[in-house]
Amino acid sequence: MSNLIKLFFIFSKIGLFTLGGGYAMLPLMQKELVGPYLTQQDFLDITAVAQSAPGIMAVNVAILTGQRLHGVPGAVIAACGAALPSLVIILLIALFFQKFAENAIVRRIFLGVRPAVVALIMVPVFTLAKSAGVTLKTVWVCIAAALAVWLLHISPVYVVLLAVLCGVLLSKKERAK
């Protein structure tokens, strides 16, 4: 099987078997990609850029990974693989939404899936924090950023810009020593 077809199937599997969007896909992406295709540092870098870029994070990761592995054809194939399962599922749901929306069993299923999705989102948070070098000394930055977005409703754009500014100032301070 060619490398591009493998790439398509890897991202199709990720897109098909993860609920909850990009962050919930990160553990499966990490499991599938780190080792055979990417280093942990490559995955961390790709994830950081994917989060910063506009668009769907899972597709951004697919594009960046595909590009890194196989150039533009890899980016296109990986993006199609990541997006196609969701597109098909959403189209099917749209066709039958009225019937499903009223079904009590379907509502209970989605209520049960929600906590699992939260847990799936937390796994890459801890893994990425460890890879990014977050320590007990620096974890306050993560907590402050999360609270600023969640409780104070500050745009994540401003939080990221402030973090960049703080990083630049701290690195200048370190170099001055």
- Which residue is it, tokens 């209520």? 111
- Per-residue pLDDT tens over the stretch 154-173: 998 899 888 888 888 888 87
Helices (H), the chain: 3-17, 22-33, 40-52, 57-101, 104-131, 139-150, 156-176
pTM for the full predicted model: 0.59
**What pLDDT score was predicted for residue 93?**
78
- pLDDT at position 79: 93
Total length of the chain: 177
Percentage of the chain exceeding pLDDT 90: 26
- The pLDDT tens digits for 107-138 are 888 788 888 888 878 887 887 888 788 888 88
Cα 45 to Cα 16, 91, 106, 146, 155: the distances in Å are 24, 33, 38, 20, 22
Q: Which residues pair with 38 in a beta bridge?
A: 34
**For 35-62, what is the mean pLDDT?**
88
In b/e form, how buried is each residue of 137-149, taking b as 16+ CB within 10 angstroms? eeeeeeeebeebe
Over 70: is that where the pLDDT of 61 sits?
Answer: yes
pLDDT over threshold 90, residue 75: yes
- pLDDT confidence tier of residue 147, bands split at 50, 70 and 90: very high
| pLDDT higher than 70, residue 20 | no
Q: Are 41 and 14 in contact (CB under 8 A)?
A: no
Longest pairwise C-alpha distance within the chain = 67
